[in-house]
Structure 1
Amino acid sequence: MRPRPRRLAFLALLLIPVLALSWRLFGPRGFSVKVEAKTWLYEIEVEKRVLETGSGWCDELPPGAGGVERRMIADPSGVRSGLAEHCRYTVAEWRKRWVAQASGPATEPPRWPTPQLADLPPEEIGAERAGKRTQRYLLQLRSERNGVDWNCQLPLEQWQRFQEGESFRLMVDRFSTANCASVPVR
């Protein structure tokens, strides 16, 4: 018995959505992306010496504490019996105040920024110093299907192996957040 042309057309129309749904559910995960650009970013935190206020038991004052005001109170923890001296004080501390940045494309050699620091001796209030340094190497990726962009930070060795224009598959969650750990190691 030969199938009729109408029956074949109906089966074909039914099969197309089933195949499309199967591809969507069971096909390759993620998006095909293209490397649009490679950039580097170097940062230096700049710390400033400032006066901070604090309070604590007078027998546990930090080194360099000044401007001490004393009062007698009971220790709620019970470590000190009866009344004990509690102090309010000021102390010089280094605190992060701003970040100096240098960035550029992969074609430029990475370089550290040169922050302009206050010209004061390090022990004076208002003095500045260079603090924590951070290096970041970024791939700027674009979905070839819908034009969505992502940035992935990679270790230097992995970042150097990619070329602009290169394509690969990137895993993306349902909230459209890229899983940068799925960038292939080359």
Structure 2
Amino acid sequence: MRLPRLRTLVLVAMIVATLGTVGWWVFGPPGVAVELTRRSWRMEIVVERLRAEGGSDWCDELPEGAFDITRRVVADPAGRRAEPGEHCRYTVLAWRRSWIAKTEGGPDTRPDWPRPPLRVAPPGQPGSERLGKREAYYEIELSDGGDHLWTCRMDLERWMQLRVGQRFRVPVDRFGTADCPHMYESRL
């Protein structure tokens, strides 16, 4: 008679544990519990180089600064010009992305823009370099204590407020992507 009562108690305990787990999953705090493990910054500047590039177009539509122009008379293959016209091959100087200068560091170093050495060629000659677009990245790394790591970008003001060891909850989608703008500090 004791055996059926023990089975009933075990069955009730299993049901309570299952309902508790499902209840926590459904009604518990949203997101994954994570800890901030690293803060870093990176500053990048695109360095552009003046290059000679070849092109071709109708001679009356040449870009400004075109040189080394060769001309020939041809009919318009697209049919937009009724009469044959002068078509030109030319060279033009254009600024193009060449490389990226970077500086990077952590919370112990002050974010600072790189100061790359730039090539200088005689005016009107290809080879000179100039600074282009600037990008600043302030990132934190979050860990769930297991094998999952997420990197989140944020603005400088928020990045300066955070410290390694802080705990957060962050929503994570079914593909494992963290919704960083919606993370909030965990009080647990």
After TM superposition, give the deviation of residue 179 of structure 1 in Å: 1.5
Measured in 1, the distance between the counterparts of 2:184 and 2:21 equals 27
Percent identity between matched residues is 42
After TM superposition, give the deviation of residue 183 of structure 1 in Å: 3.0
Q: TM-score, normalised by structure 1?
A: 0.87
* Aligned twin of 1:179: 179
Measured in 2, the distance between the counterparts of 1:55 and 1:142 equals 54
- Runs of 4+ more than 6 Å apart: none
1:56 to 2:57 alignment: yes
* Aligned twin of 1:14: 15
After TM superposition, give the deviation of residue 123 of structure 1 in Å: 3.0
Measured in 2, the distance between the counterparts of 1:175 and 1:86 equals 54
After TM superposition, give the deviation of residue 122 of structure 1 in Å: 5.1
Measured in 2, the distance between the counterparts of 1:115 and 1:164 equals 31
Measured in 2, the distance between the counterparts of 1:106 and 1:131 equals 26
Q: TM-score, normalised by structure 2?
A: 0.86
* Aligned twin of 2:140: 139
Task: Tell which deviates more after alignment, 60-69 or 14-23.
Answer: 14-23
Residues 141 and 152 of structure 2 are in contact (CA less than 8 Å); yes or no, is this contact kept in structure 1? yes
Measured in 2, the distance between the counterparts of 1:25 and 1:53 equals 63
C-alpha deviations, 1:98-137, integer Å up to 9, x for none? 0110111112111111111113245321111111111111
* Aligned twin of 1:163: 163
Measured in 2, the distance between the counterparts of 1:54 and 1:184 equals 54
C-alpha deviations, 1:134-173, integer Å up to 9, x for none? 11111121113x2411111101111111111111111111
After TM superposition, give the deviation of residue 16 of structure 1 in Å: 2.1
RMSD over aligned CA atoms reads 2.2
Gaps (5+ residues) in structure 1? none
How many equivalent pairs are there? 182
State the SS of the aligned residue for 1:59.
helix
* Aligned twin of 1:71: 72
